[in-house]
Amino acid sequence: QLLSSEQQRRKMHNCIQELRGNIRVYVRTRPFLPNDQTNEEPAIDVSPDGESLTILDQRNGATHDFKFDKVFPPSAGQDNVFQEVADFVQSALDGYNVCLFSYGQTGSGKTHTMQGSGNAAMRGIIPRAVEQILTQAKVLQSQKWSFNLSASFLEIYNEEIKDLLVQMSESKHPDSHKLKIKRSREGKSYVDGLTEVPIETRDSATGMQQLDALMSVAARTRSVASTKMNAQSSRSHSVFMLHLRGINEDSGTVVEGTLNLCDLAGSERLDRSGADSDAQRLRETQAINKSLSCLGDVFNALAQRASHIPYRNSTLTYLLQDCLSGDGKALMFVNLSPTSASSNESLCSLRFAQRVNQVELGKPTKNIQYNKSRKTK
């Protein structure tokens, strides 16, 4: 049967993606909110082609044009956005290490994009991705695939890893706030002792309830911890991880993939005056700058095909090394605020994104083990 023109367009788009490398960059501009100044023209104009935008720099009246893999206008809903990442999510089920980032200044819509809010239509990428994977796992059951799914949720604050689901762990780690990244014998990064909460794949309603429960635990853990440390969540990165393992009953083939959904700390240049007299704030500022600039360094080194890629320079890049190397796939959302007061920060984000867009990771590899002692029926 002939493919519909939409399917053909997507197929072509995917081919182009394969040729261009593995880091896609999507830009999303949020709408004006009641707290913004509403009597102004938006500083960002998204072109109807959905791939380019023009930004007006408030300081000097200059305009700048940018082109990316995808640019979402303020009117784009959560469902429109998810449609464009669905095949990316799917590739975790096919055995790839996949990472989605949201990058941008505080208040630009990173958490809205990743997590969204409880309202069904406002749900973000995390719940939609889990739902899609559960649906697909169900379909694959008929082809004798059974999937194990589990989730972890962590926060990186001042370069340290905090387990947001430790309360749900069967063996509570005594010093859960000092988790270390290790490399497995197969050379994969993992967090030693991180809680993995199983998610039921045979019944998607149960699976989704389990997800809701763990998201509430993570949110509570996060807010208690940030109150205790007098810190704001905008100053830490959060990484939601889905571990997938599929086994085919007939062939014994095992497929392993990971989906990382990463809500980055605010990218705004932090105030160097006043607040820095406070030792904790100074440390925090340095840590955020460090990990975001390390992420930039990794992308630059990859773009230049450098022989040494500085993954180990920050917790975030070390943790996500598998996705940011030739083996993985990465997609970065750059979130923008439409206000002219934010145009300077938006321009910084867009320039960062432009560099990221030039990165090629090489051909990603699937994690598949074919069973040598293949069962004969």
Catalog residues that contact ligand ADP under the rule CB under 6 A.
30-31, 33, 104, 106-112, 234, 335
Q: Specify the stretch interacting with Mg ion by CB under 5 A; choose among 102-110, 186-194, 274-282, 359-367.
A: 102-110
Q: How far is 7 from 284, CA to CA, in rounded Å?
A: 46
One-letter amino acid for residue 377 of the chain: K
One-letter amino acid for residue 132 of the chain: Q
Residues 229, 135 contacting (CB under 8 angstroms): no
- Binding partner selected for residue 167 from ligand ADP, Mg ion, none, CB under the kind-specific 5 to 8 Å limit: none
Q: How far is 235 from 280, CA to CA, in rounded Å?
A: 12
Q: What angle do CA 74, 90, 189 make, to 5 degrees?
A: 100
Size of the site for Mg ion (CB under 5 A): 2
- Binding partner selected for residue 42 from Mg ion, ligand ADP, none, CB under the kind-specific 5 to 8 Å limit: none
**162 marked ligand binding residue:** no
DSSP 116: B
**109 marked ligand binding residue:** yes
Sequential DSSP letters for 155-205 = EEETTEEEETTGGG-SS--TTGGGB-EEE-TTS-EEETT---EEE-SS-HH
- Minimum Å gap between C-beta 227 and ligand ADP is 18
**206 marked ligand binding residue:** no
Q: Where are the beta strands (DSSP E) in the chain?
A: 23-29, 44-46, 52-56, 63-67, 70-72, 97-103, 145-157, 160-163, 181-183, 189-191, 197-199, 237-248, 254-263, 328-336, 368-369
For residues 123 and 188, which CB has a smaller minimum distance to ligand ADP in the complex? Answer: 123
Residues 101, 57 contacting (CB under 8 angstroms): no
- Minimum Å gap between C-beta 139 and ligand ADP is 30
Q: Which residue has the tokens 């497929």?
A: 255
Residues 6+ apart with CB under 8 A from 3: 11
For residues 95 and 104, which CB has a smaller minimum distance to ligand ADP in the complex? Answer: 104
Residue closest to ligand ADP when measured from CB atoms: 109
**246 marked ligand binding residue:** no
- Minimum Å gap between C-beta 181 and ligand ADP is 25
- Which two structure tokens, joined as six digits, stand for 301? 């080194």
- Binding partner selected for residue 321 from ligand ADP, Mg ion, none, CB under the kind-specific 5 to 8 Å limit: none
- Give 160's strand partners: 157
- Minimum Å gap between C-beta 110 and ligand ADP is 3
For residues 70 and 112, which CB has a smaller minimum distance to ligand ADP in the complex? Answer: 112
**285 marked ligand binding residue:** no
- Binding partner selected for residue 112 from Mg ion, ligand ADP, none, CB under the kind-specific 5 to 8 Å limit: ligand ADP
For residues 62 and 122, which CB has a smaller minimum distance to ligand ADP in the complex? Answer: 122
Q: Specify the stretch interacting with Mg ion by CB under 5 A; choose among 105-113, 185-193, 214-222, 310-318.
A: 105-113
Q: Would you count residue 115 as binding Mg ion (CB under 5 A)?
A: no
- Minimum Å gap between C-beta 300 and Mg ion is 25
- Minimum Å gap between C-beta 373 and Mg ion is 49
Q: Would you count residue 111 as binding Mg ion (CB under 5 A)?
A: yes
Where is the binding site, in residues? Answer: 104-111
List of residues contacting Mg ion (CB under 5 A): 110-111
